[in-house]
Amino acid sequence: MQVAIVGSGYVGLVAAACLAEIGHTAVCIDNDAAKIAALERGDPPIHEEFLPVLLERHRGKTLHFTTSLEEGIRKSAIIFIAVPTPPSESGDADVSVVESVCQDIARRMNGFRLVVVKSTVPAGTNNWIRRVLQRNGVQAHCFDAASNPEFLREGTAVTDFLYPDRIVLGCDCGRAAEMLKQVYQPLLDGSYAASKNAIPAPDDALVPARLILTSSASAELIKQGSNAFLAMKISFINAVANICEATDADIEEVVDGIGSDQRIGRKFLKPGIGYGGSCFPKDLLAFRAVARDQGYDFRLLEEVKRINEEQRRLFLRKVRGALWTLKGKRLAVLGLAYKGGTDDIRESPAIGIVQALLREGCEIVAYDPAAMKRAKAEFQPCCSIRFTETAYEAAADADALLVLAEWEEFAALDLERLREQLKHPIVIDGRNVYSREQMRKAGFCYFSVGRPETQPDVRSAIQSSDAAA
């Protein structure tokens, strides 16, 4: 099939590349000419595992890029909308771009089209899309609308698309459902996973993928409800971690006990400095706004948001507790993206923490494996922060090291070398990347989230240094 995808952000670009990967011809449309030119050259604008591989395989063959909506939809029976829906001042999702795209589609339609929304939108959006298309001259029998929410995690978006937990199709008529089943058939029958050149499946991949067929309104709520629940799990375990610190309990042991219950599970029970990114913060606000508009006060979501924001302030208190005063301190920061595996700094708790430290008079030396370019733009002009090419360079002569994103690279650092680089062997870990025993033996004063403070084993550190010498 030939399909069009409007929008070349995380969702649209990954969807276009993956649809080409499973055998379709995909046209990705965006009004950003510079971005389209870069994609035509094979330069992805985002850091995403396996995305460069897919661009190399399919670009110019079954994967095309254009700024022309008319060119993109002319031969495409299915048009996926994957444009931003940022929060408004009231917290509602701003669907004005979705509406604008639908108006443009209406003016260019030359036959039946299925308009499918992948953007995260409020329940009832599909009904509005139908009204917009009809108000712009499209007869009801010439189109249908459906919801096909995405559940992609940044950093693993390609494998999430190709080996999904579920494929949700929100369709209010049989024709739309059948068309979308055809699109995803290689994932639904397992034929893609069995193909010779398939992207490697994660260890816990569900093959073939599970299909969930719902109404469009239910599909829209599934997306918002899923993100709100995951954000709630993160805030819940962070709140428990704070109680652990007050009682000298160890959050890792508590998580092991809670997560072993199959009704709960361990996923997203990872304490830290809070969630961020482009989805959870805005989707939480949008879901609460939907509830409010329907006359229900979903106060639980406000508490989830409050706990998340409080987690950053508690981490700053932890830094002050380790260093006493912050003014004039030189701090090494590892991790600027909102999580490991991505270059996305939107709503990054790391960025917020660094900004707070700069306001308190700290000098920051920072490193991130992927987010340096975006972070530099965020902090310009600022003379109190500089960026390095390695974690060891960042640590050189620093009063303390802060870990703010859970990159695998950080977990694999040579701790002896790291300790030698630092002025003082102090590590404040906002992501619990290291074990307490590991840091004790390596000779660090180690502060983490939800676990007791760890003092260094001086004897082990001396023996280790002597052996290295």
Catalytic residue IDs:
279
**Can you tell me the distance from the alpha carbon of 448 to that of 468, in angstroms, rounded to the nearest whole number?**
27
Q: How many Cβ atoms from other residues are within 10 Å of residue 236's Cβ?
A: 17
Length of the chain: 469
**Can you tell me the distance from the alpha carbon of 218 to that of 122, in angstroms, rounded to the nearest whole number?**
10
Q: For residue 19, which phi and psi values (nearest 5 degrees)? A: -65, -35
Which residue in 61, 52, 63 sits closest to 29, CA to CA? 63
Q: How many Cβ atoms from other residues are within 10 Å of residue 469's Cβ?
A: 5
Structure tokens at 297: 């006060």
Question: DSSP states of 133-187 as a string?
Answer: HHHTT--GGGEEEEE----PPTTSHHHHHHS-S-EEEEESSHHHHHHHHHHHHHH
Is 188:208 a contact under the CB 8 Å cutoff? yes
Which residue in 276, 269, 280, 275 sits closest to 240, CA to CA? 269
Helices 349-359 and 299-323 cross at an angle (nearest 10°) of 50
